[in-house]
Amino acid sequence: MITTNTDKAKQVLENDGIIGFPTETVYGLAGNALSEKAIRSIFQLKNRPLDNPLIVHVSSLDKIDFITENMPNKAHQLADKFWPGPLTLLLKKSDKISDLVTAGQETVAVRIPNHPIALKLLESLDFPLVAPSANPYQSISPTSAKHVADYFENELTLVLDGGFCEKGLESTIVGFEDDDVVIYRLGSIPLEDIEACVGKVKMNTGRDLKSPGMAKKHYSPKTPLIVTKNIEEVLQRLDNRKRSIVCFDQLPNVQEMENTIFYSFHGDLDFAASRLYSLLHELDDQNLDILIFEEFPNIGLGKTINDRIKRASELK
Ligand code: TXA
Ligand code: MG
């Protein structure tokens, strides 16, 4: 099931099938963006509501015109700077893109991934690929081929192996309203880098749920998770439950170690971003009672990580 053979992947896709698809952010569940059958299969596999639109992936800028119209200047600036890369742009869709992909919206989400195998596969196809993250609705995104195979062992015939995802967090989603640049999802490109390119941005509040990736509960492990600025205080409050304590940098100075797995990202934000989801997958397999995460510094990728762990901490 797990293979590095892009020809086999191509064959499945040309027959309206779905594959596990490596990118630099997270793995996707990919299918032909022009095939209604493939699109419907993806929604079904993920158990994802049809009102939650899909991202379209292409291999180069010259293929963007086929699926979009009227790309604003600021979108061009961002594309020039960050593509191929973990940037998704919300652009006016062309009539080639069905309402099923965009959940009836006028905009389509587009990105050029920066991953050699993803690009090689996309270049070999004469259609774009839709690919949401390859996890069941609301659970942790996969950052290895094995994560995908574990989630969909009975449903997928092929997962294309591109190794561990270098970035480890989803793309940053950016839309355009009049002259404003609007962030719909924090992601692998820090907010500061987007603003250095196009000036001050606005945040989409998610109130209208235009981008359900901003839904409050999301990215969740099965184990309850809490986020705190003060680990010692939480430890005093909680009894001897089996737990993991995950810190950005210094581990807390506590005596009692029983029932506790300690983990530190050694103060390295890039490392923390690339490792976060695989750590959540591992900890979720340990049958712990609770995961205690120290809040990250609220800068750069720390903002994206705080966003994800806070959503993961929402009660089910
Ligand atoms: O890094 C990524 O973006 C990965 C890799 C596989 O490319 N894909 C990914 O897809 O994270 P997904 O479907 O898990 O998240 C895409 C988010 C969803 O929350 C969806 O609601 C939002 O993008 N989205 C898609 N089209 C949209 C649109 N037209 N307007 C607003 N939000 C949109
Ligand atoms: Mg997702």
pLDDT tens-place string over residues 7-43: 999 999 999 999 999 999 999 999 999 999 999 999 9
Model confidence at 193: pLDDT above 90 = yes
Model confidence at 209: pLDDT above 70 = no
For residue range 80-100, what is the model confidence (pLDDT) as tens digits? Answer: 999 999 999 999 999 999 999
Q: What are phi and psi of 150, to 5 degrees?
A: -65, -40
Question: Look-up: residue for tokens 């009227």?
Answer: 70
**Mean pLDDT within 275-297:** 96
Cite the beta strand spans of 113-240 per DSSP E: 129-130, 159-160, 172-177, 180-185, 202-203, 225-228
For residue range 297-315, what is the model confidence (pLDDT) as tens digits? Answer: 999 999 999 999 999 998 6
pLDDT band (50, 70, 90) for residue 216 = low
174 lines ligand 1 (CB under 6 A): no
pLDDT confidence of residue 233: 87
Contact partners, residue 275, CB within 8 Å, separation at least 6: 168, 265
Of the listed ranges 65-74, 129-138, 220-229, 257-266, the least confidently predicted one is 257-266
Strands 260-264 and 243-247: parallel
pLDDT confidence of residue 96: 97
Question: Could you give the domains of the chain?
Answer: 2-203 (3.90.870.10), 225-312 (3.40.50.11030)
- The b-or-e profile of 121-156 (16+ CB within 10 A means b, else e) is bbeebebbbbbbbbbeebbbbbbbbbbbbebbeeeb
The ligand 1 atom nearest the CA atom of 107: 29
25 lines ligand 1 (CB under 6 A): yes
Stated pTM of the model: 0.95
**Mean pLDDT within 184-208:** 92
Q: How far does residue 299's CA lie from ligand 2's centre (Å)? A: 23
